[in-house]
Copies of this chain bind each other. A is one copy, B any other.
Amino acid sequence: MRLFESKYGYFTPDGREYVIVDPRTPRPWVNVISNGDYSMIASHTGSGYSWRGNAGQNRITRSYQDLIKDSWGKYYYIRDRESGRFWSAGWKPVMAQYSLYEVVHGMGYTIYRHRVEDIYSEMKVFVSAKAPVELAEITLKNEGATSRRLDITSYFEWVLGNFPDEHREFHKLFIVPAFRDNAIFVRKYLGQFPDGKGRWNNTDWNQIAFHGASEPVKSYTCDKESFIGMYGTQERPAALFEDELTGKCDRFGDPCAALQVEMVLVPGQSKSVVFTTGTAIIGEEDPEELLKSHSSVGASRRLFSELKAMWDGLLEAEKVETPDPGLNIMTNYWSKYQAISGRLWGKSGYYQVSAGYGFRDQLQDSQIFLVADPGLMRKQILLHAQHQFREGDVFHWWFTIGGGGPRTGCSDDLLWLPFITSQYVRETLDYGILDEELSFVDGGSATLYEHCRLAIEKSFKRFSPRGLPLIGEHDWNDGMNAVGSDWKGESVWLAQFMYLLLERFLPLSTKRGDGVFADRCRDVMQSLKDAVNEYAWDGEWFIRATKDDGGKIGSKENEEGKIFLNAQTWAVISDITDSERKAIAMDSVGRILLKDFGALLLYPAFTKPAPDIGYITRYAPGLRENGGVYTHAAAWAVWAFALMKDAASAYKAYSGICPPNRSVDIDRYMAEPYVTCGNSDGPVSPMYGRGGWSWYTGSAQWLHKVAVSWILGIRVEDGFMEIDPVIPPHWKGFKYTRKFKETVYEIEVRNPENLSHSVATVTVDGKGGGPKISIVNDGKTHKVVAILGRSKD
C-alpha cells in the first residue's frame, strides 16, 4: 500500500520510508543522515556532502550551494568499458536516460535504485551508528543478455574545515592528499582555530580524512583539474573519457578524491562494492583501522543492521495508531527522526548550514528524547546551562567546535533554560538534575537550579515601568530586531511566556525550600497578569509588543501587522487571561490567521521595510515571519486551540502543517512530504502554500509534541499519565503505545459517541481508574482503555 502517493513518490505502508519515483521533484528532497558526530546530506538526485560535528565549521566534502542547480558533487559514475558510455548511481550528475529511478529515504539511510542500459544499480548510503564513517554500498546487476565489463568511479572535492571555503584558491594550497593501501588519505596543514599562543593560520586541521573501497582500486586521482577537465563539467568529466584516472596525488592542485574499481558481470550476475569516506581525529582515532573495519560488504551489512537497531531504539518506544495516517507517520517516525538527525545531531539542513547550537533551539528540540531516552535530554540541558554567563544571560548560540558565540540582548533565550528544565523534571521526576554543579562561561559554577534562577532573575531586571518585560534586541522572533533596542519597547508574548514559565518553575523552588524566590515569582506572575490584561488587550486580541517610542505592534491601530499569532496562542497556553478574552482572541486567530496550510504568524504582511520593527518587515509579504506560516509558531496554535477544546480548529491547524497532507498539492508545496518545513508562503504570496527551509527547523519536535500531548492528549506529569484528547469527532478512537523504562502502556481511546473531547471512563488492565493513570515500572504490559463520553451533568 502506498500512502500519500503523488506523482513524485509515496510512503511505504508503515510510513517509515519515503520512496521517490521521479528525480524531477520541485525541490531537492533530501535526507539529513547523522550519528550525532558525523553527518551527511543525501539528495534524492544522488548528490550530497558530508561534515563532522558541525556543517559550517567542519565540512569534509564540498558543495556549491545552488538550490536550483542542486550542484553538490559527491558522485558515483558507472561506465560500460566496451561502449565508453557512462551514467551515475544517482540521477545526478549525468542525468542519463533510465528505465528505472527510485530513491528511498529512510531513517539513517538513503537507497538509490537505477537502471540504465540493462544495468541495474542499487546504492545505499548511510553513516555508521558509532564511527565517523559513511558508506556507499553499490550493487550492480547485469540484467541484459551479454556479459558486461563495467567500472565505478567515485568523485568529490575535499574541504576539510570551514565552509563556505570562500577563499578556495588559498585554502586548497594546504590540503595534502596521499594514496596508500587502496585508499586516499588527506590532511590539511591549515586548521581553523588559533594555536596555543592565539596565532591564526598556525595549526593543522585536527583530522585525517579518508576515502577507500572494498574492491581493489584500478586507478585513482586526487586532482580535480584532470578529473573534471579545465572548463569541464561534472556531467561530462574529462576523466570518464580516459581509460584510467591519472594517479595524480600531490599538494599542487585542487584536491579531490576519485577511485575507480572494475567489475565484469555475466548475464544475471550481481556484485557489490563499498566506498567508505570518513575522518579520524589525529592522536585519538586510527584512520587505517576505521577504513579497514568499514570497507567490506560484510561490514556494510552488519553496520546497516546496527543502524536500524539504533533507530528502532529511538523510534519504537512510542507508537500511535489513529485514523490519520499523516499524524501517524510524522509522530511515529519522521518528526522524531527530523528533530534528532536533522536538528540535534546533524545541525544543518539544505537551506541553512548551522554554526552550532542555538541556546533555545536545541533545548526545545531535546524534548523529543523524553519518550525514548530522557538521558539525552538531560545531557542537552546540562550542556546549554554551561553556555550561560554568571549574570544569567546566555550565548544566543555557540560554536559546537572551538566554542564561543554571540552574547546578545535577546530577551527570551535565557528563559528557555528554566522552562525546558521544569518540563523535563515534570515528566521524569529527575529532581537530581537540579543539583548538578555546572560552570558558567565566564568562570565559577552553580547548580542547575541556580542557573535557572539566575536566568529568571536577570529577566526580572528587564521590566518596563508598566510591569511588562522589555523586548530588548528581540524576543522569540529574531527578526523583530529594531523594536526595543533602546530597552524601552515591551514584549507581550514574553510576558505570557514568562507567566507560564514561572507557574511551572515555582513548584521546583518551593520543593527546594526556596520560598523567598517562589514568593517573588508569584508576585511577578500577578503583576504580569495585571499588566498584560490592562495594557495589552486590543479589543479583539492582544497586541504583540510596543516599540521604544511606545507605539503598538500588532494592534488594530496598525496598518500592517495588525494581529500576531503568538500573542494570542500564548495568552491561552499561559493561562494569563480570562476565558472570555481567550475565546475572543482565539476566535480572531481562527477568523484572520488560520488558513488551509496553518496559522499565519501575522496579518496583514508588511509590504515595505519598517526600520522601527526589524527585518521581518524586509521579507517579501507572505514570506517566512512576514505573514507566512512559520511552522514553529503554527504548531503552538494547535496547542492553544486544543486548550480551548476547539477540536476543529486544532485539527485544521495541525493538518495544514502536517507534511504528508501536502502530497495532494505537491507542486505547490514543493518541499519534502516527510519532514516539516520552517515556513510556508502565506496567501499574499503568489506562491501561497510553498514550503521553505525544510529539515533544519524547530517545528519538528513541536509537531510531535502537539500531536501527542494536545490532539491525542497524552501528557505525563508528576508520575501520572493523563489522557485528554481533543480529536475530530469522526475519529472512532485511536491507540497509543508507550514504553516507560521496562514497562509498556497500551492505551486505547474509544469514541463511540463521535465526540471531540472529554474522557468519561478509564480502565487500567480492566480495572477502573481515575482520569490520571499512575505510572509504574513493573516490567509488564498494561492495557488502558479510555472512553470519551458526555459529561454527566
List residues of chain A with CB under 8 Å of any chain B CB.
23-24, 26-27, 45, 64-70, 92, 95, 164, 166-170, 173-174, 176, 189-190, 195, 197-204, 224-225, 228-233, 235, 250-252, 254, 351-353, 473, 479, 481-482, 485-486, 609, 611, 614-615, 618-624, 681, 685-687, 693
Q: How far is the CB of A658 from chain B (nearest CB, A)?
A: 24
Contact A482 B228 (CB under 8 A): no
The residues of B that contact A250 with a CB separation of less than 8 Å are: 620, 686
Contact B352 A167 (CB under 8 A): yes
Residue of B nearest to A176 (CB): B620
Q: How far is the CB of A246 from chain B (nearest CB, A)?
A: 12
Q: How far is the CB of A253 from chain B (nearest CB, A)?
A: 8
Contact A614 B173 (CB under 8 A): no
Contact A201 B68 (CB under 8 A): no
A69 with B231: in contact, given A252-B620, A351-B169, A685-B252 (CB under 8 Å)?
yes
Q: How far is the CB of A241 from chain B (nearest CB, A)?
A: 15
A232-B170 Cα distance, complex, nearest whole Å = 30
Contact B166 A231 (CB under 8 A): no
- Determine which residue in A68, A169, A173, A198 has the highest number of CB atoms from chain B within 10 A of its CB, and name it: A68
- Determine which residue in A232, A351, A611, A621 has the highest number of CB atoms from chain B within 10 A of its CB, and name it: A611
Q: How far is the CB of A173 from chain B (nearest CB, A)?
A: 5
Residue of B nearest to A65 (CB): B168
A68 with B174: in contact, given A615-B202, A620-B251 (CB under 8 Å)?
no
Q: How far is the CB of A83 from chain B (nearest CB, A)?
A: 24
Q: Which residue from B173, B195, B231, B252 sits with its C-beta under 8 Å from A482?
A: B195
Question: What are 24 A-B pairs with beta-carbon distances under 8 A?
Answer: A45-B231, A65-B166, A65-B168, A66-B168, A67-B254, A68-B230, A68-B254, A69-B228, A164-B164, A170-B352, A174-B618, A176-B620, A189-B619, A197-B482, A199-B473, A199-B481, A201-B614, A202-B481, A204-B609, A233-B233, A233-B235, A252-B681, A252-B685, A252-B687
Contact A611 B351 (CB under 8 A): no
Q: Which residue from B202, B225, B615 sits with its C-beta under 8 Å from A201?
A: B615
Q: Which residue from B231, B618, B624 sits with its C-beta under 8 Å from A95?
A: B231
Contact A64 B64 (CB under 8 A): yes
Q: How far is the CB of A631 from chain B (nearest CB, A)?
A: 16
7 smallest beta-carbon distances between A and B, as pairs: A251-B620, A189-B618, A201-B615, A169-B351, A164-B166, A202-B482, A189-B609
Contact A485 B199 (CB under 8 A): yes
The residues of B that contact A170 with a CB separation of less than 8 Å are: 352
Contact A173 B252 (CB under 8 A): no
Interface SS of chain A = loop
Residue of B nearest to A91 (CB): B231
A686 with B252: in contact, given A173-B620, A233-B69, A623-B173 (CB under 8 Å)?
yes
Contact A190 B618 (CB under 8 A): yes
The residues of B that contact A66 with a CB separation of less than 8 Å are: 64, 168
The residues of B that contact A620 with a CB separation of less than 8 Å are: 173, 176, 250-252
A169 with B231: in contact, given A190-B618, A685-B252 (CB under 8 Å)?
no
The residues of B that contact A65 with a CB separation of less than 8 Å are: 166, 168
The residues of B that contact A201 with a CB separation of less than 8 Å are: 479, 481, 614-615, 618
Q: Which residue from B26, B197, B473 sits with its C-beta under 8 Å from A485?
A: B197
A69-B353 Cα distance, complex, nearest whole Å = 24
Contact B233 A169 (CB under 8 A): no
- Determine which residue in A200, A250, A619 has the highest number of CB atoms from chain B within 10 A of its CB, and name it: A619
Contact B623 A232 (CB under 8 A): no
The residues of B that contact A164 with a CB separation of less than 8 Å are: 164, 166
The residues of B that contact A352 with a CB separation of less than 8 Å are: 167, 169-170
A686-B170 Cα distance, complex, nearest whole Å = 19
A88-B703 Cα distance, complex, nearest whole Å = 50
- Determine which residue in A197, A232, A252 has the highest number of CB atoms from chain B within 10 A of its CB, and name it: A252
A231-B70 Cα distance, complex, nearest whole Å = 6
The residues of B that contact A621 with a CB separation of less than 8 Å are: 251
The residues of B that contact A225 with a CB separation of less than 8 Å are: 68
Residue of B nearest to A62 (CB): B66
The residues of B that contact A26 with a CB separation of less than 8 Å are: 230
A618-B188 Cα distance, complex, nearest whole Å = 9
Q: Which residue from B23, B67, B166, B614 sits with its C-beta under 8 Å from A202?
A: B614
A166-B55 Cα distance, complex, nearest whole Å = 13
New A-B pairs, 11, CB < 8 Å, besides A64-B66, A169-B693, A251-B623? A24-B230, A68-B225, A68-B232, A69-B231, A167-B353, A169-B352, A195-B611, A197-B485, A199-B614, A201-B479, A252-B681
The residues of B that contact A614 with a CB separation of less than 8 Å are: 199, 201-202
A230-B27 Cα distance, complex, nearest whole Å = 8
The residues of B that contact A67 with a CB separation of less than 8 Å are: 168-169, 254
